[in-house]
């Protein structure tokens, strides 16, 4: 996130903090009004604020019925480009705990959540609870880690236990249930990893190359044995140069890669440029069904959960790259002219 966005968020945060404090100042009882204040209704469930839908998914699963979970970044919204609104800031300030992905996924505004910690509210950065040796670095900036850890189910499984530990401190009465929920989430994540491995293993070895709009699938590729190329970098803030596209055109044409993938939260502009470049040298590159990268699908759809988005991706990738074990998911790559525009940037 550009520094300007960081400054704007900091200013909005500070103003909202003052407004929030002032709004609540009159409600602080004095000695005479203490008895009356004691009869005022209190919040029955802890308020947990999550930044992304994927973070909200695991937090909701672990919390169960014992918390209210609010997700700030809606489906289809790019978290790399997210700037919190005043309403978001008020939700953060009112939260009993805040959960981020971390590793700069939420842009530079993620640093500003330190203000919440300073105020005494617990803040958990899920990606940073994963063993550092499991994290991948940015190929262009070695000091930065790839934040897209939810793409590897075995890594995402590791985030459930720290959530349970934090919730157990907030609500000790339900600690056993939080830990049991975390264990179930971990088990489902590992079962999902096995399912994805079976799907991807059906792709002919010469076609196991995944080309996408931005570099969000490195963890997925590492776990399941795919060579991964993202036209843009780890963040959608970065722009692909003409040289980047020309080099990738030459590489995937030489390997006869059949399909490239757009993403639901990223413009399809660079993928279309890649298709045109391949066509200019005689290689037909098709555009596959969109993948879910930085956001899940709409609520109430199969892809509206973390498990659903990962399963969708595995099935689409397997079907589009020549796999024959696609779990009944009838997906075919589309010709360049028939592919609709990509999602919101």
Has residue 283 been placed in a domain? yes
> Does the structure show a pLDDT above 60 at 49?
yes
Residue pair 312/319 in contact by the 8 Å Cβ criterion: no
Q: What integer is the mean pLDDT of 255-281?
A: 91
Highest mean pLDDT among 84-88, 180-184, 340-344: 180-184
**Residue 96 shares a structural domain with residue 219:** no
Has residue 312 been placed in a domain? yes
pLDDT of the residue at 46: 96
Has residue 311 been placed in a domain? yes
Q: Are strands 209-214 and 227-232 parallel, antiparallel or unpaired?
A: parallel
The total of structural domains in the chain comes to: 2
Has residue 305 been placed in a domain? yes
Has residue 245 been placed in a domain? yes
**Residue 58 shares a structural domain with residue 113:** yes
Has residue 177 been placed in a domain? yes
Q: Is 64 left (phi over 0), alpha (psi -120 to 50) or beta?
A: left
Residue 299 vs residue 13, higher pLDDT: 299
pLDDT band at 102 (very low <50, low <70, confident <90, very high): very high
Q: How much of the chain, in percent, has pLDDT values that exceed 70?
A: 78
Has residue 37 been placed in a domain? no
Distance separating alpha carbons of residues 239 and 231, to the nearest angstrom: 8
Distance separating alpha carbons of residues 243 and 31, to the nearest angstrom: 71
Distance separating alpha carbons of residues 312 and 318, to the nearest angstrom: 10
Q: What integer is the mean pLDDT of 40-50?
A: 80
Distance separating alpha carbons of residues 124 and 130, to the nearest angstrom: 12
Look at residues 193, 214, 235 and tell me which one is the last residue of a structural domain.
Answer: 193
pLDDT of the residue at 183: 99
**Which structural domain, as residue segments, surrounds residue 154?**
3-23+44-130+140-193
- Specify the CATH number for the domain of residue 244: 3.40.50.1980
Distance separating alpha carbons of residues 326 and 323, to the nearest angstrom: 7
Mean pLDDT over each residue of the chain, to the nearest integer: 83
Produce one character per residue of 109-132: b if its CB has 16 or more CB atoms within 10 Å, e if not.
bbebbebbeeeebbbbbbbbbbee
**Residue 67 shares a structural domain with residue 109:** yes
Q: What is the CA radius of gyration of the chain?
A: 22
> Does the structure show a pLDDT above 80 at 86?
yes
Look at residues 175, 193, 211 and tell me which one is the last residue of a structural domain.
Answer: 193
**Residue 13 shares a structural domain with residue 77:** yes
**Residue 184 shares a structural domain with residue 209:** no
Has residue 344 been placed in a domain? no
Q: Measuring CA to CA, which residue among 61, 66, 47, 155 is closest to residue 102?
A: 155
pLDDT band at 338 (very low <50, low <70, confident <90, very high): very low
**Residue 125 shares a structural domain with residue 270:** no
| Residue written as token pair 């056993």 | 176
pLDDT of the residue at 12: 53
**Residue 53 shares a structural domain with residue 183:** yes
**Residue 160 shares a structural domain with residue 278:** no
**Residue 112 shares a structural domain with residue 176:** yes
**Residue 188 shares a structural domain with residue 329:** no
**Residue 182 shares a structural domain with residue 227:** no
Least confidently predicted of 77-81, 96-100, 131-135: 77-81
Distance separating alpha carbons of residues 74 and 87, to the nearest angstrom: 14
> Does the structure show a pLDDT above 60 at 336?
no
Pull the structure tokens for residue 243: 């040289």
**Residue 176 shares a structural domain with residue 207:** no
Residue 250 vs residue 19, higher pLDDT: 250
* The pTM of the whole model exceeds 0.85: no
């Amino acid at each position: 996130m550009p520094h300007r966005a960081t400054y704007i968020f900091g200013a909005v945060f500070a103003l909202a903090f003052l407004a929030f404090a002032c709004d609540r100042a009159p409600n602080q009882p004095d000695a005479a009004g203490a008895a009356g204040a004691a009869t005022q209704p209190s919040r029955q469930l802890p308020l947990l604020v999550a930044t992304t839908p994927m973070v909200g998914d695991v937090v909701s699963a672990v919390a169960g019925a014992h918390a209210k979970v609010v997700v700030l970044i809606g489906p289809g919204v790019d978290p790399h480009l997210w700037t919190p609104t005043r309403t978001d800031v008020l939700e953060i300030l009112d939260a009993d705990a805040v959960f981020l992905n971390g590793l700069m996924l939420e842009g530079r505004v993620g640093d500003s959540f330190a203000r919440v910690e300073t105020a005494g509210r617990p803040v958990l950065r899920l990606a940073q609870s994963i063993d550092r040796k499991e994290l991948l670095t940015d190929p262009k900036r070695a000091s930065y880690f790839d934040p897209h850890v939810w793409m590897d189910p075995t890594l995402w499984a590791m985030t459930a236990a720290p959530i349970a530990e934090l919730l157990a401190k907030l609500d000790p009465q339900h600690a056993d249930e939080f830990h049991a929920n975390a264990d179930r989430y971990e088990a489902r994540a590992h079962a999902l990893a096995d399912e994805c491995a079976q799907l991807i293993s059906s792709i002919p070895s010469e076609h196991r190359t995944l080309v996408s709009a931005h570099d969000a699938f490195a963890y997925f590729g590492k776990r399941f044995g795919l060579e991964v190329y993202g036209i843009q970098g780890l963040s959608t803030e970065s722009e692909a140069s003409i040289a980047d596209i020309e080099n990738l055109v030459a590489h995937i044409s030489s390997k006869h890669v059949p399909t490239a993938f757009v993403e639901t939260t990223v413009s399809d502009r660079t993928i279309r440029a890649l298709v045109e470049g391949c066509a200019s040298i005689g290689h037909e590159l098709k555009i596959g069904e969109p993948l879910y990268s930085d956001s899940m699908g709409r609520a109430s759809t199969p892809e509206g959960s973390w498990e659903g988005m990962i399963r969708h991706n595995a099935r689409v990738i397997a079907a589009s790259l020549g796999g024959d074990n696609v779990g009944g998911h009838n997906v075919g790559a589309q010709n360049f002219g028939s592919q609709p525009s990509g999602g919101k940037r």
